Amino acid sequence: MKLIVNGQKIESNAGSVVSELLVEQNVKMPDMVSVEVNEQILKRSQFESTQLKDGDKVEFLYFMGGGNVIN
């Protein structure tokens, strides 16, 4: 299906749920990512169940704590 991921148009061959898209898009650490679909942020527990459809806009938002972190 055709999706817009992080502003780029892509053709996705993943299954139709978010967790499968994360794998296809090479997001190695899904726990470090927050996902927004069509301007709504998902709960982590929804990654496996949220269905994507043609034309959906998906954003992967990455946790960024800082460049030098051990406190």
Partner 1 sequence: MSLTEQQIERYSRHIILEEVGGVGQEKLLRSKVLIIGAGGLGSPAALYLAAAGVGKIGIIDGDKVDLSNLQRQIIHHTSDVGMEKVKSAADKIRAINPDVTVKTYHQLAMAENIRAIIKSYDFVIDCTDNFGAKFLINDACYFEKIPFSHAGILKFYGQLITILPGKTTCYRCIFNSPPPTDVAPSCSQAGVLGVLPGVIGTLQATEAVKYLLGLGKLLTGTLLTYDALEMDFRAVKLNRNPKCPLCGDEPEITELKDEEQQVCDLKDGKCCN
Contact positions vs partner 1 (CB under 8 A): 6-7, 25-29, 31-32, 34, 36, 39-41, 43-44, 59, 61-71
Cβ neighbours of residue 22 under 8 Å, at least 6 residues apart? 30, 33, 35, 47, 60
Rounded least distance, CB 62 to partner 1, Å: 4
Rounded least distance, CB 17 to partner 1, Å: 19
**Minimum CB distance to partner 1 smaller for 13 or for 40:** 40
DSSP letter string, 21-35: HHHHTT-S-GGGEEE
